Structure 1
Amino acid sequence: MSVALAVEPDSSKLFQWERWPDLPDPVGLKGMAAGVSNGHVVLAGGSNFPVPPRDGGPKTLATAIYVRAVGANAQTPWRRVPAVLPAGWAEGAAVTTEFGVVALGGLATNGAQAGVFLLGYSPKIRDVTRRLLPDLPVPLASLAAVYSGGVIYVAGGDTGTSASSQFWALNLAAAVDDPKGPHWQSLPSWSGPARFGAVLTALGKADHTRLYLLGGRIKTGRPVSESDYRNDAYRYDPKSNTWEVLPEMPHAVLLGGVLPLDENRLAVVGGSDGHDLDRMAELGARYRIPDRVMVFDTRRDEWELTDPMPLGVVGAPIVPLPNGGWLVVGGEYSPGLRTPRVYEVTVASETTGAFR
């Protein structure tokens, strides 16, 4: 399928990016579990390299949990709470729900995980509680997830040996009531290849929401090449339980972020496109993740390139805020190099480029 028209960035700015206080870990973190619970942003786990990998440093998985009130003033730092994760965790998926922040899958020191847990901030004890939910059917890292209509949907992921083509759903209220029940339901898969590191979001009206699965990377058993990075896009209709193929993104995206802007538009931010893989070692810390932002309008099924993000990253969780904005938390801006930066992004203009 051909790529839909992508116009050059318009002079007007679609987004405003505002710095929040940096993460307490100055090295930065990638792949944290992140979301909102009881008026507080909750961040847990994440991975980094305190000693850069080019100097032989191993990947470290964090256990710390941080919180910050959504309405805190600009100078209020993140606060580390007494609670910690029972083991290092990173690079799974997390969704904000009315019950708290649900973290799914991820990496631990022994590889991909199947565990699912619920993090909730308690104002009374000023700490974060944790409870277990039904495991995923298989261990998965770098999976895509979204919460819509009381259901958590999970697509793709990395088992450690292969990419997944599976698509599952969990009725969250039922799982909270009975965490030991076999609640995950298998749904039809999209028509494209198995993948990990895709993004998944939901758009539409309350009575008819559709899911959008975008990008990712395939695993072939051969050395990784730029062609393994995906720019394909799919839409799932929960009412008809069917998928359709959408116009491809202008660029491939692995481990990007996605912002559901309104009922009709989404934005894909950052993510790796596999450029210059053969020069990655040569470029070292000069290698950069693309800072592109691509907007898709479902009314026209068209993509547009818009103004870039301040720093291109992969593995930065996106946190929806009650005010309608989003946080972009940490991430990896160059192979093995994390950032402690946290940005709040809001829609600054409702008209840009092809969407006037």
Structure 2
Amino acid sequence: MVAVSADAFSEKAMLEWSPLADLPDTLGRSGVFVGVHNNALIVAGGTNFPEPVWENDKQWYDDIYVLSQDGDRWQWHDGFSLPRPLGYGAVVSTPYGVLCMGGNDAEQIYDEVFLLSWDSVEKTIQRRQLPSLPRPCAYSAATRIGDVVYLAGGMSEEDLHTAMANFWSLDLSALDAPDVLEWKPLPPWPGPSRAFNLVAAQHNGHEYGVYVISGRRMSDSEDGRVEFLTDVYEFSP
């Protein structure tokens, strides 16, 4: 595990990577839900290929690891789990917990949404179910401006032909008002549908905006090849 510090300014570099404690799974994980809450790093679910890699199918996991700091020492906490093996969803760190959205397993794509929060006193993970996405979604990305989470792109089925032009928001300031808390559709970007895209929030000098960046889709050509996108779109809230 590696961390980057924005405080490490020097003539050579403004950012500096430093190693942390390695993930307990020595094989590593792909497609994990990763975020920070209460100064702890939460790593949930994900996939890998057990060794020997070429002789085994991909495995999905339901375990949750939490990395916290005690003085100068970093320590992993385990023994927590998701309700099911899950990976390749969107994830955003929030003041309320790590928001996990959608994802898949070996059988299907899900629309479920939940918060994972770290109790630093009891050293436990709490899970809170939130309103589901408007439709199943995996291989998407999300970001946050204030209390509002924005999710864009993704696939509704295990086929890149189902890549979407979806753009949804969820206002977490309504967490304690379940009759108001819901995902809202927003105008899609003026470009092709996509999955495996990036989403980021950035100040443009005037205001914070949401940026939908790159991704991939099935092209409209007769050969049906995968199209890797390079376009960028800005949404002004």
The TM-score by the shorter chain falls in which range? 0.7 to 0.9
What amino acid does structure 2 have at the position aligned with 1:213? V
Contact 1:37/1:100, CA 8 A, preserved across alignment: yes
Report how far residue 156 of structure 1 moved.
0.6
Aligned to 1:346: none
- Give aligned-pair identity as a percent: 33
1:166 is matched with: 166
- Which structure is higher in strand share? 2
Cα 1:232–1:60, aligned 2, differ >3 Å: closer, same or farther? same
1:187-336 correspondence to structure 2 within 5 Å: 187-204=186-203, 208-220=207-219, 225=225, 228-238=227-237
**1:125 to partner: Cα distance:** 1.9
Residue 193 of structure 2 aligns to a residue whose secondary structure is coil
Give the match's secondary structure for 1:140: coil
Q: Distance in 2 between matches of 1:52 and 1:140?
A: 31
Q: Runs of 5+ in structure 2 lacking a partner?
A: 1-10
Question: Superposition pairs for residues 38-187 of structure 1, below 5 Å?
Answer: 38-51=38-51, 54-55=54-55, 57-70=56-69, 73=72, 76-80=74-78, 82-160=79-157, 161=159, 162-174=162-174, 176-179=175-178, 183-187=182-186
Confirm or deny: 8 A CA contact 2:65 2:80 kept in the other structure. Answer: no
CA RMSD of superposed structures (Å): 2.4
* Alpha-carbon separation, structure 2, partners of 1:180 and 1:153: 20
Residues 124 and 148 from structure 1, CA distance in 2 versus in 1: closer, same or farther, beyond 3 angstroms?
A: same
Q: TM-score, normalised by structure 2?
A: 0.85
SS at match of 1:54: helix
Give the drift of 1:168: 0.6
Cα distance in 2 for residues equivalent to 1:193 and 1:44: 31
Q: Secondary structure at the match of 1:91?
A: coil
What is the number of residues matched between the two proteins? Answer: 223
Measured after TM superposition, the shift of residue 70 of structure 1 is 5.0
* Amino acid in the other structure paired with 1:111: Q
Mapped to 2, the partners of 1:72 and 1:103 lie a distance apart of 29
Q: CA deviation at 1:185?
A: 0.8
Deviation at 1:203, TM superposition (A): 1.0
The normalised TM-score by structure 1 is 0.58
Cα shift readout 1:16-53 (whole Å, capped 9, x = no counterpart)? 22222211101100111111111211111111111355
CA distance 1:12–1:152, change in 2 (3 Å): same
> Which residue identity is paired with 1:163?
A
Where in structure 1 do 4 or more consecutive aligned residues deviate above 6 Å? 221-224
Letter in 1 for 2:51: V
| Secondary structure of 2:218 counterpart | coil
Separation in 2 of the partners of 1:61 and 1:234?
Answer: 33
| Larger relative contact order, structure 1 or 2 (CA cutoff 8 Å, min sep 6) | 1
Alignment partner of 2:74: what SS?
A: coil
User: Structure 2 CA distance, aligned partners of 1:217 and 1:88?
Assistant: 25
Equivalent residue, structure 1, for 2:33: 33
In structure 2, what residue type is equivalent to 1:79? Answer: H
SS in structure 1 at match of 2:173: helix
Q: 1:124 to 1:15 in 2, by over 3 A?
A: closer
